[in-house]
Amino acid sequence: MATNKDKLLESAQKNLKKKQVAKAIKDYAKIVEIDPADVRSRQKLAELYVRTGKNSEAYEQYESVAKYFSSNGFYLKAIAIYKQMQRLDPGQIALFNRLAELNEKQGLLGNAMAEYRNLVDYYSRNGMIADEIKTLEKMRDLDLNNLNVRVKLAEVYARNKREDEGYDELEAVLEILSDKGDFDKILKLYKMFLPLYPKDKKLQMGLALAFYEKGDFKRGVTILENLLKDKPEDPDLLRLLGRGYADLKNWIKSRETYQQLLVMDPTDLDIRESLIQCEIDSTQYDRALAELEEWKDTFFKADRLVCLKECYEILKDKLDGNSTVLQTLDAIYELTGEGDKLLDIMSEQEDEPDEPTLDETLSDILLGSAEEDIEDDLVVLDESDDLTFDVIEDEAVDLVLESPLDGGFSGESADSDAIIELNIDDNLNLSGGGGNDLDFSFDMEEENSAPADPAVEHNLQADLEEAEFYIQQGLYAEAQKLCSDILAYDSDSIECRQKLEEIEALLNQQQDKPGSDETSSVTNPLADSSADVDFDFNLKALQPDKTAEKKIFKTDVDEQIAADDMESHYNLGIAYREMGLLDDAISEFEKAEQEPARYVDCQTLKGLSFSDKGDFNNAEVMFQQALDSYQLEDLQRLNLGYELGLLYERANRFNDALISYQDVFLQDNNYRDVRDKISLLKNSLGITEDDSQRTREENKERISFL
């Protein structure tokens, strides 16, 4: 058998050299019949069938090869074969599923999501709802943070009598967006799903709250007022309305709303605090003070001393010289240990000689009258004690807070000689507790109290290298800005000015290149996330859209690329190129080049792929970008120079090819067949040794690889 197989292989190779494809097909068909496990011969047979237009026969052979690779764990090879089969018969929907599963096994989640997306589109167009939902569930389980998929799944659930499941998905997405503070997307979601859940009050309240967070209180209040018609005593609605009225400066309605809530629950200190704040904001300072005086002991016991202090400090400025405000602030500053402020209050009190002598202690001021008066205590003094008395007339008594506090304050007259001691727990929470029942999140900026930064030390060489990196990655705007910054502190940098000229040329070329605007955000691995594509809430299809860059959510594939295995993308690109799937290969190399160590290799392979397509201009750009890389090694430089020579030969640019080969020869005169290449080109161009040297010197500055 082995002898016959060897003879058939030899015969097939001879027939192919003679371009007798039909005979070669017969030879390979016999080989496969003799040895069905010979996948290499079977794959070659499939390729020959494709060359002769026998797609169904080729498909059958490819399927056997793909199953073999898949079952033996060669997932990348299997993916390449299935991709070739997809080219032969795009209508085979099962191929999308197989490709998705294989990409998932290989760890290429972005590619897997793309294949599943194609399935969803197909099922949606053909009304295959059960299959559409099943596929979307697979996608969700594959990446729970992919909001595109979860929103689509929620919509399909809701439209197909599975409202509860749709609602659960929607709530999960809203929670994620709320944690991120992304209220633009939250608003879009509410507007999308409210028609699907028209009677859901919770969603309507959520929409109103989203309007609040965006600062659109008027629309939020309108929604809540409509809801209130059905539930006039709903405390959650009333809370939100009170806040909305306050933000709209409708103080009367805001105060009435808070008062209604307090009738329902007089002990709610959050609402009580909101009412006091409303009265202060509406300049009803006397009302605010009366409310504070009535409830200050309750606020204190509830660890809301900070709130009390803030309110009384405002009233101190607004009600200048008000003794009640000053007395309470006196007590608050004693408790908070703010001695400087206490002295200020005392000095203000001293400046008012007509003020009547106080009959209340600090505890009485803060918590109301004590339940029992303390009888005059008999103080026994040791005769040996040396006592000194300072007689103070017509001045406020200086009180020392040292005695223990048991549930309230023990009171004595202000003119008593006794010392009042207050034992304050070190763990007392003075931060002011409580908030509204509903959670309103705001982005708070912390004050920067740090000293000013020292002068920045510039590193010219490091900045130039960074600019070069931006250029290599296609981030021309970033490179241009950095070069401008460099010139700001080193205006004499010739190298920087040269880079600026290079960037300008590249930008002009990018503008002239057809379709460059459509692909730049996809191929650029460091693109600004704010330019990423968004989720289409209409969701007529999940096909890629050239206008999708104007949206907000990222596409499934773009979101996942960063998490995928770059090495797998690289190897898959090689497999695609070997199969002749050049566009797919280029796409994979563009993903793999995000790994810096693979950048030069990926640019080189992209250049070879473009060259195989006959796109010599793009191939030249890829090779030159690889040559400009700061990570380029000597051997890679030789290889790229040689490949440029081959490229120029194919493009009939023989003078340029000769210069490239001569550059390689100067670096390594034994590199491959470069000596023969130079000799043949010189002969064909009729160039002597002297002419060659002169031509090379003249053209060195003229030749532009771009």
The last residue of a domain, from among 498, 513, 528? 513
Contacts 24+ apart (CB under 8 A), 164-173: 166/196, 167/197, 167/200, 169/140, 173/147
Task: Please name the residue that has the structure tokens 């200086």.
Answer: 398
Q: Give helix 323-336 / helix 285-301 axis angle, nearest 10°.
A: 30
The DSSP secondary-structure symbol of 598 reads G
Is residue 110 within 8 A of residue 116, CB to CB? The reply is: no
Alpha-helical segments (H) within 351-442: 362-367
First to last CA, the chain: 56
pLDDT digits (tens, 9 = 90+) for 128-149: 999 999 999 999 998 888 898 9
Q: What is the Cα–Cα distance from 62 to 33, expressed in whole angstroms?
A: 15
Query: 418 burial class (0-12, 13-18, 19+ CB within 10 angstroms)?
Result: middle
Q: Report yes or no on 285 lying in a domain.
A: yes
What pLDDT was estimated at residue 697?
56
577 and 634 in a single domain? The answer is yes
Q: Report pLDDT for 481.
A: 81
* Domain annotation covers residue 140: no
pLDDT in the model for residue 191: 85
Together in a domain, 340 and 287: yes
Domain shared by 358 and 498, yes or no: no
**Please, what's the b/e burial string for 299-326 (b: 16 or more CB within 10 A of its CB; e: otherwise)?**
bbebebbbbbbebbebbbeebeebeebb
Per DSSP, the three-state class of 411 is strand
Q: Which residues contact 204 (CB under 8 A, 6 or more apart)?
A: 194, 223, 227
Are 537 and 188 in contact by the 8 Å Cβ rule? The answer is: yes
When computed from its CA atoms, the radius of gyration of the chain, rounded to whole angstroms, is 40
Considering the domain boundaries, does residue 496 fall inside one? yes
Q: Is residue 163 part of a domain?
A: no
Q: Which amino acid is at 488?
A: A
Determine, yes or no, domain membership for 17: no
Give the Cα separation of 441 and 558 in Å (integer).
29
What residues in the chain have per-residue pLDDT under 50?
1, 355-455, 473, 513-559, 561-563, 702-706
Q: Distance between CA 676 and CA 670 in Å, rounded?
A: 10
Are 41 and 35 in contact, with CB atoms under 8 Å apart?
yes
Residue 136 burial class via C-beta count within 10 angstroms: exposed 0-12, middle 13-18, buried 19 and up: buried
Q: What distance in Å separates the CA atoms of residue 386 and residue 399, rounded to the nearest whole number?
A: 22
In this prediction, residue 691 carries a pLDDT of 56
DSSP state of 357: P
d(CA 128, CA 132): 6
Q: What's the pLDDT at 265?
A: 93
CA 68 – CA 66 distance, rounded (Å): 5
Token pair 């406020």: residue: 396
| Co-location of 430 and 504 in the same domain | no
Same domain, 488 and 419: no
Choose the final residue of a domain: 513, 531, 548: 513
* 604 lies in the same domain as 694: yes
Give the count of beta carbons closer than 10 Å to the beta carbon of residue 529: 8
Long-range contacts, stretch 33-39, CB < 8 angstroms, 24+ apart: 34/1, 34/4, 34/5, 34/8, 35/1, 35/5, 37/68, 38/5, 39/64, 39/65, 39/68, 39/69
Q: In whole angstroms, what separates CA 158 from the centre of its chain?
A: 28
d(CA 600, CA 622): 9
Domain count, the chain: 3
Q: How far is CA 208 from CA 211, 215, 222, 443, 702, in A?
A: 5, 11, 8, 19, 66
476 in the same domain as 419: no
Helices 566-578/582-592 angle, 10° precision: 160
- The verdict on residue 196 lying in a domain is no
> What CATH number is attached to the domain comprising 692?
1.25.40.10
Report d(CA 699, CA 658) in Å as an integer: 11
Phi, psi of 498 (to 5 degrees): -65, -40
Q: DSSP character for 373?
A: B
Same domain for 644 and 579 = yes
Written as six digits, the tokens of 497 are 């000015």
The 3-class secondary structure across 427-445, one letter per residue, is CCCCCCCCCCCCCCCCCCC
606 and 497 housed in the same domain: no
C-alpha span between 127 and 408 (Å, rounded): 73
- Under a CB-based contact definition with an 8 Å cutoff, are residues 102 and 79 in contact? yes
467 and 425 fall within a common domain: no
282 and 413 in a single domain? The answer is yes
CA dihedral over 156, 161, 167, 172, signed as positive or negative: negative
CA distance 280 to 314: 8
What pLDDT, on the 0 to 100 scale, is given for residue 339? Answer: 65
Residue 474 sits in the same domain as residue 426: no
Is 643:705 a contact under the CB 8 Å cutoff? no
Residue the block writes with tokens 């708070």: 444
Q: For 24, left (φ over 0), alpha (ψ -120 to 50), or beta?
A: alpha
Give the tokens for residue 278.
Answer: 């409303």
**Distance between CA 682 and CA 675 in Å, rounded?**
11
What is the pLDDT at residue 133? 94
pLDDT confidence of residue 669: 84
Of 493, 513, 533, the one marking the end of a domain is 513
Cβ neighbors of 451 (< 8 A, separation 6 or more) are: none
Range of the domain at 289: 265-368+398-434
CATH assignment of the domain containing 504: 1.25.40
690 touches 667 (CB < 8 A): no
Query: Which phi and psi angles does 477 have, rounded to 5°?
Result: -65, -45
Q: Which residues contact 199 (CB under 8 A, 6 or more apart)?
A: none
Cβ within 8 Å of residue 412, ≥6 positions away: 361, 373, 374, 418, 420
- Residue 50: CA count within 13 A, CB half-sphere: 19
Q: Residue 295 in contact with residue 274, Cβ under 8 Å? A: no
Rounded CA-CA distance 365/411 in Å is: 10
Is residue 558 included in any domain, yes or no?
no
**Within a domain: 23:** no
